[in-house]
Amino acid sequence: MEPQIPQAEPAPAHPPLESLAARPLLDRDYEARPAVFYEKLRAEYGPVAPVDVLGVPVWLVIGYPQTLDILRDARGIWSRRVESWRAYREGTVPADWPMLPVVESDNCGFRDGADSTRLRSAWSEGLRPFQDRTRPEAKALEEAVRRYADELIDVLAENGGRTGHADLAAQYARPLPLMVVGRLLGTGDGDGGGDDGLIVDLWRVLDAGPDAQEASTRLLARMAEVCAARTTAPGRDLPSAMLAAVPDLTAEELTGEMAMMTGLVGDVTGTLICNTVTEVLIGGTGARDSMSAGLIHEAINRASTANPPMANLAFRWPRSDVRVGRFQIAAGDPVMVSPAAAHLDPAFTGNSAPDAIYSSRAHLAWSAGPHACLGRDLATTVTTIAVERLFERFAGLRLALPPDQLAWRSSPLIRGLRALPVHYELAGEPPRRAAAPSGTGEPAPDTNRSEAEPASLVRRILRVMRLSQS
């Protein structure tokens, strides 16, 4: 593995980042043919390349060893605090730069050292009841996810018939994790009804429609209320469990972490579900064979390698000048590492046999090192159930478009589809009419319900999203 070269090495001579001719990150190839995009960069620049991210010059690290080295940060070079960004301190970052809200977020992703450790302990302890599959909370969550998945499929079939056409992103993969957000916050169900407003606002934010800004303000205010309430009256939810682990967490800190959680669960987990289904349907990366062999985790692993939902990670800034690849990165320059590009580096792909039953676990879709993902097990469980239910309930699922015509989101960070159009054929019986297990506090799925009966959370949400008439 090629290490970052210590400072004693002579620095390569080149103009500063701001003066290098940087290629725009968000071009057509980046969206439609990322492998081509990254390979062109690699051929021209090697393992690190200057790119233009929506008007701001950034170093994009595309080599696998370099990405891993930066993520592990064994020498303590890399800061995640926005104050470490030279241009930000000097006030030269445009005030309307679309990524500014991300890097200015007040959450554990953008803290260093003891600040980061404290919040990470709250996360790992707080998530334990939901990630340790022997715990009652985790079991109840799994049951609920199964129920949400089945009901979403019921509604899809009610609207579209036994065989038909559906957008599995809008009708399945994206709404499903929203219910999980509600459950983790302790507002979703299980306590006598759902906080539809919060989940619908989250949907509006993720949908980035005209009312997204207002929805975001309401969402944050509602989350602040929930977090403040948990400091005085804890429940059996994630914020309460985080508070129990780190009692001096303030309501503001908790709100920042929960805001991050809504993105990670509501958006990124839905993206992994979609990307996994897509890889299975396309069949080019072995994900379909894994699925046929009953190896769902393996299918998820392959999808995470081919299209990591967090394609590029924002941002890291070196505390001192550091050489990476052919360039000398100056202290305070913005650096994005790219798991998506690293997974295409021959240094990574060269190590795996194309016909191996198990793919490499050394992929970087969950990051690595001191900021590695703490919700991996939860996200994997939700994705596994979602994918499993889909392929059990449908006898036939195929893409409604050739793979190269699928539309991908234009995002510097996320690799996800805008829509996942499929032709489907339902297996076996028509939509189930199973009752929700007693004691869940959630009304039963209500295909046969009379007008007087309340609609379930799934149906209420879908109705507001205009994805269901019933």
CB 376 → ligand HEM: shortest distance, Å?
Answer: 7
Is residue 145 near ligand HEM by the rule CB under 6 A?
no
Candidate residues 373, 414, 419, 464; the one interacting with ligand HEM per rule CB under 6 A: 373
* Options 26-34, 194-202, 216-224, 359-367: segment touching ligand HEM (CB under 6 A): 359-367
Is residue 310 near ligand HEM by the rule CB under 6 A?
yes
Candidate residues 39, 87, 244, 366; the one interacting with ligand HEM per rule CB under 6 A: 366
Is residue 194 near ligand HEM by the rule CB under 6 A?
no
User: Using CB atoms, what's the residue nearest to ligand HEM?
Assistant: 375
* Options 33-41, 362-370, 390-398, 459-467: segment touching ligand HEM (CB under 6 A): 362-370
Is residue 123 near ligand HEM by the rule CB under 6 A?
yes
Candidate residues 378, 397, 417, 465; the one interacting with ligand HEM per rule CB under 6 A: 378
Candidate residues 157, 205, 287, 365; the one interacting with ligand HEM per rule CB under 6 A: 365
Of 215 and 259, CB closest to ligand HEM: 259
CB 264 → ligand HEM: shortest distance, Å?
Answer: 4
Is residue 303 near ligand HEM by the rule CB under 6 A?
no
Is residue 108 near ligand HEM by the rule CB under 6 A?
yes
Is residue 387 near ligand HEM by the rule CB under 6 A?
no
* Options 13-21, 24-32, 85-93, 372-380: segment touching ligand HEM (CB under 6 A): 372-380
Determine the Cα–Cα distance for residues 350 and 348; give it in Å rounded to an integer: 6
Candidate residues 318, 334, 375, 443; the one interacting with ligand HEM per rule CB under 6 A: 375
Candidate residues 278, 301, 367, 456; the one interacting with ligand HEM per rule CB under 6 A: 367
Candidate residues 40, 120, 418, 449; the one interacting with ligand HEM per rule CB under 6 A: 120
Is residue 379 near ligand HEM by the rule CB under 6 A?
yes
Determine the Cα–Cα distance for residues 31 and 404; give it in Å rounded to an integer: 11
CB 124 → ligand HEM: shortest distance, Å?
Answer: 8
Is residue 116 near ligand HEM by the rule CB under 6 A?
yes
The 3-class SS string of the chain reads: CCCCECCCCCCCCCCCHHHCCCEECCCHHHHHCHHHHHHHHHHHHCCEEEEEECCEEEEEECCHHHHHHHHHCCCCCEECCHHHCHHHHCCCCCCCCCCHHHHCCCCHHHCCHHHHHHHHHHHHHHHHHHHCCCCHHHHHHHHHHHHHHHHHHHHHHHHHCCEEEEEHHHHHHCHHHHHHHHHHHCCCCCCCCCCHHHHHHHHHHHHCCCCHHHHHHHHHHHHHHHHHHHHHCCCCCHHHHHHHHCCCCCHHHHHHHHHHHHHHHHHHHHHHHHHHHHHHHHCCCCHHHHHHCCCHHHHHHHHHHHCCCECCEEEEEECCCEEECCEEECCCCCEEECHHHHCCCHHHHCCCCCCCCCCCCCCCCCCCHHHCCCCHHHHHHHHHHHHHHHHHHEEEEEECCCHHHCCECCCCCECCECCCEEEEEECCCCCCCCCCCCCCCCCCCCCCCCCCCCCCHHHHHHHHCCCCCC
Query: Which residues within the stretch 258-297 sit at the binding site for ligand HEM (CB under 6 A)?
Result: 261, 264-265, 268-269, 272
Determine the Cα–Cα distance for residues 287 and 357; give it in Å rounded to an integer: 10
Q: How many residues does the chain have?
A: 470
* Options 62-70, 305-313, 389-397, 398-406: segment touching ligand HEM (CB under 6 A): 305-313
Is residue 300 near ligand HEM by the rule CB under 6 A?
no
Is residue 102 near ligand HEM by the rule CB under 6 A?
no
Candidate residues 34, 57, 109, 334; the one interacting with ligand HEM per rule CB under 6 A: 109
**Cβ contact 155:462 at 8 Å:** yes
Interface with ligand HEM (CB under 6 A): 108-109, 116, 120, 123, 261, 264-265, 268-269, 272, 309-310, 313, 365-367, 371, 373-375, 378-379
